Amino acid sequence: MCIRIFSRDKNAYPVSSILAKFYLLTLFITLNSCKIKEDDITSGKKVEEEIIAIKNVTIIPMTEENEIIENATIVVKNKTITSINKTIPEQARIINGKGKWLIPGLIDMHVHNLNELAFNEGYPTKGLTDIFEKQHIMTPYIVNGVTTVFELSGRVGAFELRNKIVQEKIIGPRIAIAAVIDGAGNELVASTPIEGRQTVRNAKGLGYRFIKTYSDLTPNTFKAIVDEAKKQGMKVVGHIPRAFINLPAKDFFIPHFGLIAHAEELSSNTNDFSYEKAQEYARLAKENGTWLTPNLSNIVWILRQSKSLESIHKLPTFQYVHPLMQDKWLTSNSYHRNASKSPKLIPYFQELIDFHKLIVKAFKEAGVPLVAGTDTGISGVVWGYSLHEELELLVEAGLTNQEALMSATRLPAIWLEIEDKIGTIEEGKLADLILLDKNPLEAIKNTKAISGVFVNGKWVDKKKINTMLSDLAEWNNVNREKFKWKDRAKY
């Protein structure tokens, strides 16, 4: 409706010297008409929010003390946890939680969602296009209890996706979005400190609240970006630029560099894969207040497919991957191609995995907060499913089950500065919850034993999860022939 009013006015007022005024006027009419529509909805036919209570459940709240609440009753109303162990409102729908466990919804701190891609050489009308059906892209997160994600290659489409979720047109996770700034290439580019500072301000103006630094920045541009982000109240996650290789590690641990996007940033910086080196990084990170997303699953998957594409073929969750990506992962797999040309890569990837586990151990010992992230979008690393794999790898590397859970709940909520709303199970928090059939504190793989998920207060039970998954698998199967990687320029 808003769009129609916009275009009618545009026809009524041809381009003229009062262009600016015209746009302001049109914008006013557009916003005003949207407002009326909104009021109609809120005044008239607003549907009462359902009240849901889970009874007799064991709550693992993931607060700092994490005191387990056994045989608990929890009430969810208006997207919020309204009470724990208090009276159940009469009209509440009851879910039997006997023999089940309740944990906060999970947070993946490193994702790349399928949004717009620069394929369209056939141009209507040049630039990025979006061929992906949004619910299909979000379903794997929801069925896995991943209720918040950190998008680390933000573009305009990421905001569109987030708006669709906020408007409840589709069901998906909460999305934090980082703008990528690099020294060259296809992202926001800054090659001098002055450009770096201006790019941060531009990103803020476009609506971003996080900055991701990338590999081709010069050391001084990197430093200027991080400093400007601090001035602008934006947090910084990122790569450590390649230009720091052979420089002392203390040079890139600079104030306000808040989160390293994967342990690979550290292993790329050295040939010394000793525990002492991991401890040096941990000490510097601790002193500087820099957190780490270890991101163990991406290298594990890079190694697997470097050895053989069978690992991708046999992936049980492959059916939930968009057919275009299925085709890319099999027919244009750069990891497999590179390893075929340079077989030495295979033992090197194994060394990386071993060193990254040492890094996790050293960071844990130094008391540096670790947050779980997967780099999902990398071939083999399937959206939603990969976070459970990451948690298992973090435990293999030395975290306790509770610490692994903390890395995907309370800690990332703190880093994203939304811990007043999500990340723990407490009265007043938003209802992002996972009901589990098995206890994840006994075995971390039990996070996969999902009985149902609350996504922003909306209950998605096992039956609904199964339907969503079979619909997705069927759509992917039916449309397989329509999406071929070699034809991507036509889409």
Residue numbers at the binding site for Zn ion (CB under 5 A):
152, 375
Q: How far is the CB of 112 from Zn ion (least distance, A)?
A: 6
Residue 267, CB-side half-sphere exposure with 13 Å CA sphere: 24
Q: How far is the CB of 239 from Zn ion (least distance, A)?
A: 9
Q: 61 or 294, CB closer to Zn ion?
A: 294
Q: Which residue is nearest to Zn ion (CB)?
A: 375
The span from the CA of 136 to the CA of 215, in Å, is: 31
Q: Do 178 and 210 contact (CB within 8 A), yes or no?
A: yes
Q: How far is the CB of 373 from Zn ion (least distance, A)?
A: 8
The span from the CA of 342 to the CA of 329, in Å, is: 19
Q: What is the DSSP letter of 376?
A: B
The DSSP-derived string for 397-410 is TT--HHHHHHTTTH
Q: 57 or 161, CB closer to Zn ion?
A: 161
Q: 264 or 432, CB closer to Zn ion?
A: 264
Q: Which amino acid appears at position 278 of this protein?
A: A
The DSSP-derived string for 111-172 is E-----BS--TT-SSSS-B----HHHHHHHHHHTTEEEEEESS--HHHHHHHHHHHTTSS--
Q: 375 or 432, CB closer to Zn ion?
A: 375
Q: How far is the CB of 152 from Zn ion (least distance, A)?
A: 5
Q: How far is the CB of 163 from Zn ion (least distance, A)?
A: 23
* Residue 428 phi, psi (nearest 5): 95, -15
Q: How far is the CB of 299 from Zn ion (least distance, A)?
A: 12
417: CB partners within 8 A, 6+ apart? 235
The span from the CA of 229 to the CA of 388, in Å, is: 32
Q: 375 or 392, CB closer to Zn ion?
A: 375
Q: 260 or 309, CB closer to Zn ion?
A: 260
Q: Which residue has the tokens 């497919």?
A: 305
Q: Do 172 and 453 contact (CB within 8 A), yes or no?
A: no
Q: How far is the CB of 134 from Zn ion (least distance, A)?
A: 20
Q: 116 or 375, CB closer to Zn ion?
A: 375
Q: How far is the CB of 156 from Zn ion (least distance, A)?
A: 19
CB-based burial of residue 201 (10 Å sphere; 0-12 exposed, 13-18 middle, 19+ buried)? middle
Q: How far is the CB of 486 from Zn ion (least distance, A)?
A: 25
3-state secondary structure (DSSP) of residue 452 = strand
Q: 152 or 324, CB closer to Zn ion?
A: 152
Q: Which residue has the tokens 């699953």?
A: 297
The span from the CA of 336 to the CA of 306, in Å, is: 4
Q: 77 or 304, CB closer to Zn ion?
A: 304
Q: Do 85 and 57 contact (CB within 8 A), yes or no?
A: no
